[in-house]
Amino acid sequence: MLPLRLQTLDFPLPGGWQQALAHALAQPHACILDSALPGELSRQSIIAFAPAMWFSATGQSVTFQRARHGSRLEGDPIDLFARVVHHAQAEMPLRSPLKPGFCGGWMGLFGFDLRCFVERLPWPRPQGPLFPDLAAGFYPWCLRLDHSTERCELRLLAGVPGGPASVHELAEELSRLFQRPTPASAACRLGLPCLHTSRDAWLEQVRQVKRHIFEGDIYQANLTRMISREGELDTSTLYAALRRLNAAPFGGYLDCGLGRRLLSSSPEQFLTLADGLLETRPIKGTRPRGADAAQDAALKQELLASEKDRAELTMIVDLERNDLGRISEPGSVQVPKLAACHSYARVHHLEATVQGRLRAGLDIGRILRATFPGGSISGAPKKRALEIIHELEPVRRGPYTGSLFALGVDGSLTSNILIRTLLQEPGRVSYHVGCGITAESDPQAEWDETLAKADALERALEASC
């Protein structure tokens, strides 16, 4: 057994958070949880890199690296990851109290196609972004920025094999790194957008979803489409543009290895867990921001008054209540907020809050099997909606509509829904946009909604060249 002790140190950033991000983005397996639009729900941002362990799964093929040793496993990635997490907790027990917020632990990606291990569903299509289905590192240290105080703190779990020995040694190493000039921007090359689903094909897909609804198969489904552009972009420049042009409370970044990186400016929280309280905040209903204050206020009121959007959100709230009910203490599931309007850089959204108290003894595997993927980006009933999504969408989603997460050594969890997310691969960058389809959906209006959601992503791409 190797007991862990938390060591902390104030760590001022003379060059600011943006410069620290630029340095971090050049590091292997960097992971960032980034509240570029701080608020009540997004009070911290986290930078971590150089994990002590790395877990990566594509389908049932799993690789696990620790220090200089690696192993290959076969099996259900959710079960294997839960087992690795449990083993690490048993091997490295905590021997000191922790502070509020993330203090070290697992950070990474739950890709959308983990759905195949939650429900019996078809394997993902070969076309589309080629990312792991689950990728996570154990990060023994992190830089944590508290947005309420603008104070940056270095946090280290001392005692992790292969990790830093003391917070002071780590601080000296990071200070040397951050004092170097930021990495020079790479040459940029960006092709024209390629629509993997044409407008006419999309409109027909919306009509097919509506036929399923009228036949009683489902109540709603989240339908998405992919856009890609050939070329090479400097990751640091692109991420800076994305967080500037589409500031969001649940953004982030993950280097999955082999030139595969996800850059997210998500407005949506998936799951949080703190002191036994589970919470999810699904989004349904969208309006673009107005050209001036009067138009903006009118669009916000239009969204709040929309029976179609409120009904869509209510259906997803019912689904999320059922999901949380599977792992919560009896009678503890509640809905503190049913339909609140929140405004972001480019759009307004309707959001709800669903909470439950987690039953004792349930691990991350049980939590995922009850709740993943999120209801707002799948549909209701969830399994049938996922089957229809697979039938209609011509490419895999990859990380999109999965989750970027941080699972602390104390069992706390914070995670987003990976929407408004760019996926970088060698020679290509891509993204998806989508919307919820209900019986009242107008196909052209749904197409227009995807254009509004794509706007900030396209602006970020253009600003990076």
Residues 286, 193, 133, 385: what is their CA dihedral angle, to the nearest 10 degrees? 40
**Residue for token digits 């903006």?**
296
Helical residues (DSSP H) of 92-133, grouped into ranges: 115-118
Short-list 201, 263, 299, CA closest to 456: 263
Amino acid at 221: A
Short-list 167, 109, 144, CA closest to 397: 109
Measured from the Cβ of residue 161, the count of other Cβ atoms closer than 10 Å reads: 12
Residues contacting residue 386 through CB under 8 Å, at least 6 positions apart: 115, 119, 121, 373, 378, 379
- Strand runs (DSSP E) across 365-464, as ranges? 379-380, 403-408, 413-416, 421-425, 428-437
Short-list 123, 104, 98, 101, CA closest to 112: 123
Burial 330-357 (b: 16+ CB within 10 A, else e): eebbeeeeebebbbbbbbbbbbbbbbbb
**Residue for token digits 């867990």?**
273
Q: Which of 153, 210, 268, 387 is an active site residue?
A: 268
- Strand runs (DSSP E) across 101-259, as ranges? 105-110, 134-139, 141-146, 151-158, 189-190, 194-195, 220-232, 250-257
**Measured between alpha carbons, how far is 158 from 141 in angstroms, rounded to an integer?**
9
**Two tokens at 11?**
């760590």
346, 455 Cβ separation under 8 angstroms: yes
Short-list 260, 193, 199, 198, CA closest to 227: 193
Short-list 404, 446, 425, CA closest to 225: 446
Short-list 293, 287, 253, CA closest to 416: 253
Q: Which of 284, 387, 393, 449 is an active site residue?
A: 284
Q: Tell me if residue 446 is catalytic.
A: no
**Measured between alpha carbons, how far is 220 from 95 in angstroms, rounded to an integer?**
48
Helical residues (DSSP H) of 8-165, grouped into ranges: 16-24, 77-91, 115-118
Q: Tell me if residue 268 is catalytic.
A: yes
Helix (H/G/I), strand (E/B), else coil: 436: strand
Catalytic residue set: 268, 284
